[in-house]
Structure 1
Amino acid sequence: MRLNAEFQAHLASGATTLCRCWLLLRADGVSFGFTDHDCDLGFDGIIFKADSGLSAAALQQATGLSVDNTEAVGALSDAGVREADIEAGRFDDATVRCWLVNWADTGQRALQFNGYLGELTRSGGSFRAELRGLTDRLNQPLGRVYQKPCAAVLGDTACGVDLTTAGYGVEIAAEQVEDSRMFRFAAIAGFETGWFRRGRLDVTHGAATGLSGVIKNDFAADGRRVIELWAPLRADVSAGDGLQLIAGCDKRLETCRLKFDNIANFQGFPDIPGDDWTVSYPASASVTSGGSRR
């Protein structure tokens, strides 16, 4: 935590006017400011609200690559963090910053914490959020996996497929929706059955705008086209809401070549030896031509 000279002098004075301010930035760009001071504060174009009921546990920090962590607790309110937004997953992996601030002069402040939301729970009209430091990302495994299927995610930089290209997706209005998981349509013109299996469904309009689901199955039943998700969307989807369906990929070499014409960027190892080869053992033989022995 770096302190400017004025802030350092204020802390050394023994009579301080300190509070904490938190900035919560969701992946969709929506931001929230909170403070444990009894009045609203503002800096960097952000208003930090005092009526949120937010408080934080002691911040644990260490040098080196140790993971910083803390916990924030606050009240749910319509003007701030809403229970429906938490349930919908809109706060998942949101960026969090915390400052130690001189509330008498907000120009005197120091960034104490920079990280993201971990586990977020709610109960009794309040929420409890685990805050994880940036070094927590280093706990995630990195590197390529030696396997036959492609390791890239369809449309990412390793894959290189432009999913905005015509033929890979379609915008369509929801028709029949069951449990925000089963979507039935009269027809999806121009796309054969199974085209969207393992793909993605994005909600572009309605109460669930911004939410996405992974498509488990794409099939025809009772004269209708059915899109089934692996898990229900965490907000209600109604008939008429805007949806976008994105093509799926089963990670096979044949699919990469025939469906996406992207064989040059295939990120798997299709010629990896099978189990029979890996468990075989060397044997001596006088005949080495590969023919049968008699």
Structure 2
Amino acid sequence: MNDQLHSVALAWTIARRDGVTIGLTDHDRDLVIDGLLYAAAPGMTPSAVKRSGDLEADTTEIAGALTGAAIGEADLLAGRWDGARVRVRAVDWTSGDVRAELGGGTIGAVELGERGFTAELRGVAALLDAPMAEATSPGCRAELGDRRCRVAMATRRRFARVLAVVETVVTLDTAEPLANAYGDGLLRWFGGANCGLESAVARSADATVTLRAPPRLAVDPGTLVELIEGCDKTIATCTARFGNAANFRGEPYLPGIDLLTRYPGA
């Protein structure tokens, strides 16, 4: 057997969407690679890594035991690791040199079991599964403030403090600037147990916002949150509230399938 294989270890670099980056290795001691500490995690094992030269999407799975503080059950259930960027490499644990790039991508579905967790790792080729052309729709297909919408969001983001939370209703210390300003928008948690997570807002009224789902973790009074205005994606709202009909990405006046069922006198 080649002696060089005796010093090979696997190293995972995982970067969450909130900026937290950790390193894990299946070696029996911690390693430092490119200035990042890779904590020993012998329980982390990948399935067979398949790399193909065609356009088929490459996916693999990573299984691991919830034995350390780096990846905990509470964070997995809260969704902190959803969409995290992963880089898998074979490294020389004696020198820290990278032997081979084994793959990378983003974390997809995460499942918890009795012995730990399994996470699907979707490669770059998985992006080819997305539709190449958009379907027509009466509502706008852009997201408020993105490069297609072009609405300036600097004045449509505000910070507030939480006074109370009852199921999905959050009471704030600041009233909304206009009726249902945060409906279909986002609430970002900047403190407390939910720090770094986002909650979708269904509607807002005065100093309260109603979330689409309860906060994933307990919320203490005084927690700082950021409120981002939303849009119901109708041409009426786009015109009256944002004055942005020129960038509306929908077909509100295109006849739908009900045109086939119309008849005189209907």
TM-score, normalised via structure 2 length = 0.89
Percent of paired sites with the same residue: 34
2:198 counterpart of 1:212: yes
User: 1:42-77, CA deviations, whole angstroms, 9 ceiling, x for partnerless residues?
Assistant: 222222111453222221222211222222222224
Measure, in 1, the Cα distance between the counterparts of 2:209 and 2:93.
53
Q: What's the CA shift for 1:26?
A: 0.7
**Equivalent in the alignment of 1:140:** 130
Structure 2 gaps, min length 5: none
Deviation at 1:187, TM superposition (A): 5.7
Cα offset, 1:102, TM superposition:
2.3
- Give runs of aligned pairs for residues 1-294 of structure 1, distance below 5 A: 16-51=6-41, 53-124=43-114, 126-165=116-155, 168-179=156-167, 181-185=168-172, 188=175, 191-219=177-205, 225-275=207-257, 277-279=259-261
Q: Which has the larger radius of gyration?
A: 1
Indicate if the aligned counterparts of 1:211 and 1:233 stay in contact, CA closer than 8 A. no
Residue correspondences, number: 264
In angstroms, what is the RMSD of aligned CA positions? 2.5
Q: 1:51 to 1:112 in 2, by over 3 A?
A: closer
- SS at structure 2 position matched to 1:184: strand
Paired AA for residue 152 in structure 1: A
Distance in 1 (CA, whole Å) between partners of 2:49 and 2:18 is: 27
1:254 aligned counterpart, secondary structure: helix
- Using the size of structure 1 for normalisation, the TM-score is 0.81
1:89 Cα deviation from its structure 2 partner: 0.7
Residue 104 of structure 1: how far off its partner (Å): 2.5
| Displacement after TM superposition at 1:198 (Å) | 1.4
Whether the aligned pair in 2 keeps the contact of 1:115 and 1:134 (CA below 8 Å) is yes
Q: What runs of 5+ residues in structure 1 fail to find an aligned partner?
A: 1-10, 282-294
- CA 171–38 in structure 1, closer or farther in 2 if over 3 Å, else same: same
